[in-house]
Chains A and B, each alone.
Chain A
Amino acid sequence: MQLDLPIFLNLLLIGLFQGAIYSLISMGLTLIFGTVRIVNFAHGDFLMLSGYFVFWIWAILGMDPLLALPVVFSALFCIGYLTERVLIKRVLGRPTHIQMLMTLGLSLIIQNSVIVLWKADPRYVHTSYADLRLEFGAVAVPFPRLLSFILAMVFALTLHLFLLKTTYGTAIRGTGQDQEAAHLMGINVNKIYSLSFGLGISCTAVAATLLSTYFPLSPFLGASFMVITFIVIILGGLGNYLGAFIAGLILGTIEVFTAYMLSPLLRQTVPLLIFILVLLLKPEGLFGRELRR
C-alpha cells in the first residue's frame, strides 16, 4: 500500500484514537491488578455492561452518551465496589486458578445475563454528531472519534492527578507498592481494594461511553478488546497505569498501520510479536520497574 502524507496523518490519528480506548480499558485493568493483585477476566464484560447502560439511558431517556457519562461512571463504580466486597474478597490470597475461576465465571454470568435480559441483538446509539467529519486539508477525522480521544486524555489526566494528589490516590498507590506497609501506616487495605476495583471498573464505563458514539454494542463486545488489553497491560508493565496508557496508544497506532500496510489479518499478530519480543528482552514490560518478589 502506498503511503502519502495525508494518509499517514490520517492513519496516525485513527491509531491514536483507537489506542486511547485501549489505554482507558487497560488502565482500569492494570489498576486492579496493581492494587488488588487479581487478574480480572471479566473486565471486557464490564465494558460491555457499561455500553448497555449507556444504550438504555439513551434509548429510554434520550440522553446523549456524554451527558450520561457521570451516571454510568457512578453506577459502574458502585457495581465494581460491591463486586469486590461480595465476590473478589473471598478469593484474595487464594491460589491463582481459584481467582481465575472466579473472574472467568463472573464474565460468563455477566455475558449470559445480558443475553437473557436484552437478547443478543446488536444495539447502536445514534447521536446528533455521529456523522460529523472535520476536514483539515486532506486529513479528515470523524468527529466522534476525535471527541472520544480528547475526553479519554482528559480522563486519564484526571485519574493520574487523583492517584497522585489525593489521600485516597496515595493510599491506592501505597497499597499497590506494599500492602503490609500500607496496613501498618493505618490504611484500611480492604477498603482500598474495593475502591480500586470500583475505580478500575469505572474506567470501562468511560471507555464504553466513548465507544458507544461510533461502535455497535453486543453481548460479545468485550472479546473484541480483551486480547489487545492484556497485551497493553503487560507491555506497560503490570500494575503501571501510566505505562498502560502509553502502551495503549502505541499498540493502537501499530495496529492501524499494520492493517493498512500489511494485512488486516495481521492486526493482532504484529502486536503479539512485539509482545513476545518484549517478554524475551524486557520481561517487566516497556515501562515496568524490575520485578518484585
Chain B
Amino acid sequence: MSDQAHRSTRDEHGKEFDRARNQAQRMPIHSESGVLFEQAMAQTRMAICLADPNLPDQPLVFVNRAFRDLTGYEEEEIIGRNCRFLQGPGTDPEQVRKLRQAIANEDVVVVELLNYRKDGSAFWNALHLGPIYNEDGSVRYLFGSQWDVTDVHAARADEKHARMMEREISHRMKNMFAVISSVVTMTGKLDDAEELAEKINARIRSLGRAHEAMLEVSFTEGPTDPHPLFRDLLLPYAPSGEAGLTLEGGAVPLDSNIVSVLALTLHELAINAVKHGAYSVPEGHVRLAWARETDAEGEERLRLDWRESGGPVPEGPPKRRGVGTTIIRRMLAMGDGEISHDWRPEGLRVEISFPTSL
C-alpha cells in the first residue's frame, strides 16, 4: 500500500466518497447496496475496478482510490479506457490470452501480470477477474481486484537464486574434495606411502560427506536435525546397513566447526568398530544418542553417547594409542571437549562432550 493512502486528509476522504457516490449513482445499483458499495470501495486497500463488457472495447467505468494509488493514474486518465493500458513490454502475452479467454467464457480467473504505472515503473499485479450478472443472467460488469505482489515475486526470485547458489557451492565443494583426494593418492603412490595416503583419504572423505550433508541447512540459523549427517557418516561402515545403526536425539546447532569435529570423531569411532568392535561382525550394532545440556558455567554442550553391541568382547584399552584416537583427543581438548572410553563386556562405550559454541 502507498503512503499516500495514509496521508489522505478528511477533506480528501470526503471528495472520495462524493466521487464514489457519483459513480455508484451512474450505475443502476439498488440504492442501499449502492451506499454500501461506495463506502466499501473508498475504504478498501484492495485496488478495484469495474469494466463494462457491453460497451465497445470493454472500457473501465469505475476504479477506487487504491487502484489510482497503485497505478499512479488519475481517474480521468482511466475511465473509458480498456485496462490493457497497464500492460507493457514485460507483460506475458500468455497470461493476457488466459484473461481474454476467461472473459469470453464468463469464468472467474486469477492471473499474475507484469503491469506498468504511469511513471513507467513495473509491478507484479495479481489480478482477480470475474463477471457480475444482471437479474436476467446477462453479464453487467467485469469485476477486477488487483494486488501488488512485487515483494512476493522478489522473494521467490531470491529463493531460486539461493537454491542455485547452493547447488553451485555443493558442486564446487565435491570437486574440491575430489581434487584433494587425488593429490593425496598420487603423492602416496609416488612417495611409496599408499597405505598412509588411503588413511588420509578416508578422513577427507568423511569430512566431505559431512559438509555435503550439511549444505542444505548451512544457510539456516538455529538448531538442526543431525540424523541425515550421522547416517551419511556411519552407514557406510555398518555391515548390516540400517539394522546396525540406531540414532536417538533431537536438533543441535550445526556450525561448520561442529560438523568437522563430529565428522572426524565419528569416523574414528566407526573405523575402530570395523577393526576391533561391533562392526567387525555382521550382527554388530551401534547406538548413538545425543543431547544438549548446560554446564556449570552456563555454556551449552553437546553430549554424545556411543554404544557398541553384538560384537566380540573388547580386549580393553589398546597398549598404544592409535593416530585416530590421538587426533580426536587433541582436537576435543582444543575445544574444551571431553572423551571417555569404557570397554564393557557387551561392547565399547564412548562418551563425548564439547561446547556447541565451538
The yes or no verdict on A and B being binding partners is: no
B residues in contact (CB < 8 Å) with A: none
Residue numbers of A with Cβ under 8 A of B are none
